[in-house]
Amino acid sequence: MAILKEKVTDIHHWTDKTFSFKTTRDKGFRFKNGEFAMIGLEIEGRPLLRAYSVVSPNHEDHLEFLSIKVPNGPLTSKLQHIKLDDEILVNSKPTGTLVCDYLLDGRNLFLFSTGTGLAPFMSIIRDPETYEKFNKVILTHTVRTVKELAYYDVLNNLNNDEIYSQVTQNKFIYFNTVTREKWERTGRITEWIESGKLWESVGVDTFDPKIDRVMICGSEDMTFDLKEIFEKLGSIEGSTKVQGGLVIEKAFAEK
């Protein structure tokens, strides 16, 4: 297992708490859309790595990552200050459970995210294979403030994008909510699901565990709250061994 060295080619600070960056991509670095890689910096002569989902789809020639900024975080306190041409360490062996292969094919695919949990879904929604497996792909993103709606313009216009409109074939639906500011849709995603308002708002039939599939990535509380909701509805968790109706990324939600 090798540690690759990639150069930073672009940085975007979304808020004082979140930022994203792009790097070069080694030709030998292969991953499935939805997977994460261990990435980081060399600090005091040693590699310090953390799990980061890859934002960019696997057909792109660069890598992109979305990160929080933690003032005292061993890695993010330094990572948030990276500059163009700085060196990022990337473990050459990505992994993860947020991969469409671990779900049974179905009608609608729901991707539920909070905060930077959006990252793995950015690659999944730009993968042509996703739309071959599902009739509709519904991405929900819940954040505290409007500014934290990372990639808002990209997501809002994906069906009209010159390239990706051919991929999504108008099957993609983007739905966001904000919890601490005025916005057209407020509240936690759990409330939207439990009240049944979500299905109505995105214009799909009520969730059916036999034919609808779920991926969840975000805060630990939200991940396990949603997992419980969907398991009660009848969804069965999938894994690398058995396909199911629901997957979560355990690397970000240990409990």
Instruction: Give per-residue pLDDT as tens, 69-107.
Output: 998 989 999 999 999 999 999 999 999 999 999 999 999
- Are 162 and 226 found together in one domain? yes
Tell me what pLDDT residue 252 has: 72
- Average model confidence (pLDDT) across the chain: 96
Task: Give the rounded percent of residues in the chain with a pLDDT score beyond 70.
Answer: 98
Segment 220-229 mean pLDDT? 95
Q: Are residues 77 and 115 in the same domain?
A: no
| Interval 176-190 mean pLDDT | 97
Domain identity same for 59 and 85: yes
Kindly state whether residues 25 and 58 are assigned to the same domain: yes
Asked whether residue 154 falls in the same domain as residue 245, the answer is yes
User: Between the CA of residue 188 and those of 37, 44, 182, 195, what are the distances in Å?
Assistant: 29, 41, 13, 11
In this structure, the answer to whether residues 162 and 145 fall within a common structural domain is yes
- Looking at the structure of the chain, the number of domains it has is 2
pLDDT band at 253 (very low <50, low <70, confident <90, very high): low
66, 91, 116 - which closes a domain: 91
Cα(43)–Cα(30) distance, rounded to whole angstroms? 26
pLDDT of residue 128: 97
pLDDT at 254 over 90: no
Are 218 and 114 within one domain? Answer: yes
Q: Which among 194, 180, 185 is positioned nearest to 225, based on CA atoms?
A: 194
Task: Provide, rounded to the nearest whole percent, the portion of the chain with pLDDT above 90.
Answer: 95
Q: How confident is the model at residue 148 (pLDDT cuts 50, 70, 90)?
A: very high
Closest to 76 measured CA to CA, from 109, 47, 40, 119: 40
- Which residue segment(s) compose the domain that 158 sits in? 100-252
Q: Tens of pLDDT along 185-210?
A: 999 999 999 999 999 999 999 999 99
What is the CATH classification number for the domain harbouring 86?
2.40.30.10
Phi/psi for 237 (5° steps) reads -70, 135
Same domain, 86 and 104: no
